[in-house]
Structure 1
Amino acid sequence: MNIEAAYDKFYASGITFDRLKYINCDDLALVFPGNENIGYRAELREKIRLWKHNNFPEESVSTLSMNSNIKNWIENQPLDSPATNSTSSEVTSVIDMVKNSKSGQSLLSLYKTKQKLDAGDRKRLLNIIVENFFDLNSKKYKIPRPHEMNKLAEEIVAIFPTENKEIYYISRKDARKTNASGNLYNRFNNLNRKRIRLDSNTSEEQNASERETLCSTNYISFKNKMYFMSGDESDAINLWSETYKYRVNHIRDLKDLTSILEEWPFYKQATGPKFLDFDFQKMYPDENFHLINNWTDMRNQLGQLYKDLLRDKQYVDLFGSVSNECVNDNSKDCILIMLLNAVLKPTSRYVAEIDGKRVTSKTTIRDAMDSCIVHITNINDLEFTYAEKVKKSMHRKEKIQPYLIVVGSDIKSLTEFYVNYGGTLQKFHSFIAALDICFKVFHVLNLEYPRESSLMWYFLQKQIYKITTVYDIKSSALCEFLTLFKS
């Protein structure tokens, strides 16, 4: 767009020279609408910003006619010349970005009333912020440096206190993965259609002196006695308590489920859930009964959220069966847990060989559901189902993690409930009891959640069991869902 065209548009919009200092981003969007003018608007916005900075409030401007001065201003600020980018030196504060935008002013006013932001409000806020990072030289949105991104997220929380910083930005160190994450980080990267590769170095710190002390003759002696015991529970529980500290560190060293069950065979016995419960209560004394005690309230809260968040017709229909009186409570509980994977959608990918070629595929919602809950119609299908799971894990080069098995003619008519960990099958009287032990297996035996359904398990960990560990993988989607759940 040339100078004459810009002049005509300003004139037609009633923008005189003395009014120019009041113009903002929203005004420019009205004067120069359309996606084809995004770069042009950004260039004008930056030049107006610099002009305001250099001329006001140090000196006043007398009322001048449009014909004499607005054209001179445009001519003195060549539209085809490079402009200084505000991100080259110091990042503008979020509060200034918001206050300088009509959309932002509306957002502030709305927040005063609602005291919270919804998904649409967050999107508006992100758009306001990223617009201030348009780089005129590269014609791209410049991605702030990590410390700048972190500062932006902190400022957002300072302006909107009910928001959670991790919704907007999680550093790669906190995320414990290659790339940083969060809505703010993702927005910048998606706009430029590029991905940034970062190195992440994480290490597990171990107390060597404590480990050496725990590997004493007494502990090993107790453990050996348990290994050869026939399963007398009254005698075993005392030895089990005595060997707890040694067992925790020993399991951490083994890092293999088969080896753990061979070294500590009481986990495999019919009374195994009692020993798992014992160890979990030792690890987390105040969290042992959270799921059992709080499930009724959680069931109601999930039901309310699913009404708003579920979009896919097959999952909407599945959720609809929860209100059917003919569906038993265990089936309803199973469906509600499965549907967590439909709102906390999996983000992982897996590599498999197809026709001799390595192919990367995205995990589906069905993959996520199958990784944590396997439905069979007959108990005789157990062996076949396990063989299929082994085949799938070998194909994807992944381990088989603990999972639940539910039995019934269909998912709405469940009658039996099991947990499978390392080939050990434990039966439970209800779905929630099975879910409780399956969750505890991961923590007691120091196992990772399956990648496909990890967000579902992390939701249970943080919302129900109130557990946070140094090994947690942070997720902006999970953080946003937890915030929504609590509100």
Structure 2
Amino acid sequence: MSGNLADKLRRWGLGEEVIKSFQEQRITEDLLEFIDDRTLELLIPLAGDRLRFRLKLRSELRKDTESASHISEVPATPLVDVKEGSHNKSNRICGSSKDISNCHSEEPRAEILVKKHFPQSGAAASKQNFEEELDLERLLSSSSEGNVVLGTFKAKGHLDKRARDLLAGRIIAHELRDNLDKRLSPDRLNYLANKIVELFPTESKGCWVSVDSRGVCETGKGKLYCKWYNTRRCHSKLGLIRGRNRGAKRSHDSIDQELGVKEYQEDDDFHQWLKGNAVPWVTVLEYWENTHQIRHSCLQKDENSIYDYMMEYPALRLDKGYMLLEKDFCLRFPQSSMSLNTLWPKLCNFILERVCVKGELKKALDDATSPDERTSLALLNFSRVFPSINAKKQTKYVKEWRPSKMEAQEAFVLHVENTEELETKLELRKDRLMKFGCQLPPVAAVVGPCWKEIQRSFSIIGPKFFEVETPLKAVDITFKAFHALNTQYPTEASQIWQFIQRAVFEIPRDPKCEPYFSSVETLLQDFSALKS
């Protein structure tokens, strides 16, 4: 690293450790504007120093841009030879159309300044950077879509997914206005990304264009490239431009698959951001929704445990991380998000009528006067509605496992008197499941001396204990977690969860991975009659 860069970092208030990190990673001054968020986090571990670096670099880039704009507007003042006895005694204007053959050999002063401050590889580069300057704010304000983008940023202080899509579309449409078949070079994409960050400081450049470790713009990645690529495909299908002949003809399925991959690349930067960030929450929610398909695809392909998935995304381990699992469920089943709350009064009565028919439970039902007490009584006795079933058949290496109704109940809603007992019970259940080759699935849990005095409610998912307001909320979150995490119900309580799935959320049974239970089918008929 040059001494100039080290001095600059010191002037920016950064310490020697940061300077040493830049030296070790061979970051030079010409690569500063290409540093993305992931690289910056590697170079500068402390958040405060990273913010200071971004502010200083953004300020310097803005000054350079303004300087470039000012220089590009300077007219190419002709050089006039006024010396007596010189070769041009008649004071002819250099470059005039009347006597261009005798033009003075020196270049116009403005052109020299431009070449000195912004060296280019050739005439094409000079044309790209100075003949095609983009006034992004003016471009956006000239259309209704652009005004939506500006209005979104003004109202929210940042761009949302819709605004980013509109912004990318407006920029690409402008770039292709004279030539639908125009190719956008990595340098041009990098220039456009800089313009976006300049106008919208909260945007990450890595979202719009991808830059490799050498500071070179990577073709095929970033929101701008993907928008250009997809626009070209539309133009090609309409016959507006000629497609590139790549030899053998491909099937429509393979083309659609390739398009899907490109669309995934558009949100890959958001996915990587979620793996290292948990704030701000507004951004987390937006990026989480954008990356739903990517994460769902990973869950289907990977064999990672629930624990690994929860550890992969810091936002999931926040106290409100369960909201992200709820969002994933809502994206998969948008019509079912509030089903349990809506149907619970009928379902609660349906359960209590079948389990509280005699003895202590009949007396308990008479004592349950409030809706909350009736809810707790129903949830903590739900397993009594179903018969006991074999969870594991006996094999040469594994004994038969036929869980009791108590074990089935604890796999559905676990009731303990205090939190210390809760952790002990979970450890014992985890050890037991390991003997049968199973991992600890999500489970709802309630803490209190008895069913009438429930003090705390939890939805336990992997390493995280999500504390929520009511036992019913804990059950709701736990059910949605099974589907958001693409994991199976615990075998002991599979009858209960499958009944809730089909009767309440109206999600059909998948014959490939969900067993058939005659008890569930019978109960579904009875409950359907009650609902109607």
TM-score by length of 1: 0.51
Which residue in the other structure is 1:135 paired with?
Answer: none
Structure with higher strand content: 1
The 1-side partners of 2:258 and 2:515 are apart by: 27
Deviation digits for residues 28-71 of structure 1 (CA, Å, limit 9, x no counterpart) = xxxxxxxxxxxxxxxxxxxxxxxxxxxxxxxxxxxxxxxxxxxx
Distance 1:300 1:331 in 2: 12
**Aligned pair partner of 1:387 in 421, 427, 449:** 427
Structure 1: state its 5+ residue gaps.
1-207
Secondary structure, counterpart of 2:298 in structure 1? helix
Residue 398 of structure 1 pairs with residue 438 of structure 2: yes
Task: Tell me by how many angstroms 1:368 deviates.
Answer: 0.5
Contact 2:380 2:415 in 1 (8 A): no
In structure 1, what is the equivalent of residue 524 of structure 2? 482
1:95-110 superposed matches below 5 A: none
Higher RCO structure, 1 or 2 (CA under 8 Å, sep 6+): 1
CA contact (8 A) 1:344 1:477 kept: yes
- 1:212 offset after TM fit, Å? 6.5
Gap change, CA 1:382 and 1:403, over 3 Å in 2: same
**Aligned pairs, number:** 272
Q: Could you tell me the percent identity over the aligned residues?
A: 18
Displacement of 1:456 after TM fit? 0.3
Q: Which moves more between the two structures, 391-400 or 228-237?
A: 391-400
Letter in 1 for 2:347: M
What is residue 386 of structure 2 aligned with on the other side?
Answer: 344
Residue-by-residue CA offset, 1:178-226 (whole Å, 9 max, x unaligned): xxxxxxxxxxxxxxxxxxxxxxxxxxxxxx9489627843332111112
Find out whether 1:263 has 2:291 as its counterpart: no
Partner in structure 2 of residue 321 of structure 1: 364
Aligned equivalents of 2:273, 2:292: Cα separation in 1: 14
Q: The residue matched to 1:286 in structure 2 has which SS?
A: coil
Q: What stretches of structure 2 of length at least 5 have no aligned partner? A: 1-255
- Which structure: larger Rg? 2
Q: In the alignment, which residue of structure 2 is the partner of 1:330? A: 372
* Aligned residue number for residue 107 of structure 1: none
Q: Which residue of 1 aligns with 2:473?
A: 433
Secondary structure in structure 2 of the residue aligned to 1:228: coil
Question: Which residue number in structure 1 is paired with residue 266 of structure 2?
Answer: 218
Using the alignment, how far apart are the partners of 1:395 and 1:240 within structure 2?
A: 36
* Partner-residue secondary structure (3-state), 1:359: coil
Residues 242-257 of structure 1: pairs in structure 2 closer than 5 A? 242-255=290-303, 256-257=305-306
Q: Distance in 1 between matches of 2:458 and 2:300?
A: 26
The 5 A counterparts of 1:46-195 are none
Q: CA deviation at 1:271?
A: 1.7
Secondary structure in 2 aligned to 1:418? strand
The one-letter code matched in structure 2 to 1:343 is: V
Equivalent residues of 1:305, 1:485 under 8 A apart: no
* Equivalent position of 1:446 in the other structure: 486
1:243–1:415 Cα change, 3 Å:
same
CA-atom RMSD, angstroms? 2.8
Q: Contact between 1:267 and 1:275, CA under 8 Å: does it hold in 2?
A: yes
Q: What is the deviation of 1:265?
A: 3.2
CA distance in 1, matches of 2:310, 2:418: 27
* Partner in structure 1 of residue 353 of structure 2: 304
Q: 1:284 aligned to 2:326?
A: no
Shift of residue 281, structure 1, vs aligned partner: 1.0
Q: CA deviation at 1:318?
A: 3.0
CA distance in 2, matches of 1:404, 1:359: 27
* Cα distance between partner residues in 2 of 1:420 and 1:394: 18
Residues 337-389 of structure 1 show CA distances to partners (whole Å, capped at 9, x for unaligned) of 33332121231233699xx9853232211111111221111123333222222
1:93-122 alpha-carbon deviations (Å, 9 max, x no partner): xxxxxxxxxxxxxxxxxxxxxxxxxxxxxx
Taking the aligned partners of 1:269 and 1:405, their CA distance within structure 2 comes to 19
Provide the rounded CA distance (Å) in 2 between the counterparts of 1:480 and 1:245: 36
Q: 1:300 to 1:282 in 2, by over 3 A?
A: same
Shift of 1:329: 4.0
Q: What is the rounded CA distance, in whole Å, between the counterparts of 2:455 and 2:262 in structure 1?
A: 44
